[in-house]
């Protein structure tokens, strides 16, 4: 992937991560919310965070000291 594709992927992942924040908050606000669904959303959010970190690492070159 080139830097343009990585930047686009990073933006998409970040947007999805924010959307999951909203979905998790909405699910928590409901009375008697589904714990399994909440756990799945949180797990997906963690995977996205790892993917975001990976994309950021690929965009920032290593500096050899």
Q: For residue range 8-54, list pLDDT tens digits in order.
A: 999 999 999 999 999 999 999 998 889 999 999 999 999 999 999 99
Q: Is residue 64 part of a domain?
A: no
Asked whether residue 55 is domain-assigned, the answer is yes
Say if 52 falls within a structural domain.
yes
Domain that holds residue 30: 3-59
pLDDT at 61: 77
Which pLDDT score is estimated for 65? 59
What pLDDT score was predicted for residue 31? 87
| Residue at 51 is within a domain | yes
Asked, for residue 65, whether it belongs to a domain, the answer is no
54 inside domain = yes
Q: Exposed/middle/buried for 13, CB within 10 Å: 0-12, 13-18, 19+?
A: buried
Number of domains in the chain: 1
């Amino acid at each position: 992937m080139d830097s343009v594709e990585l930047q686009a992927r990073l933006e998409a992942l970040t947007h999805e991560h924010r959307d999951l924040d909203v979905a998790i908050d909405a699910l928590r606000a409901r009375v008697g919310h589904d714990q399994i669904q909440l756990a799945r959303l949180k797990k997906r959010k963690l995977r996205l965070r790892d993917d975001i970190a990976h994309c950021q690492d690929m965009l920032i070159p290593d500096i050899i000291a």
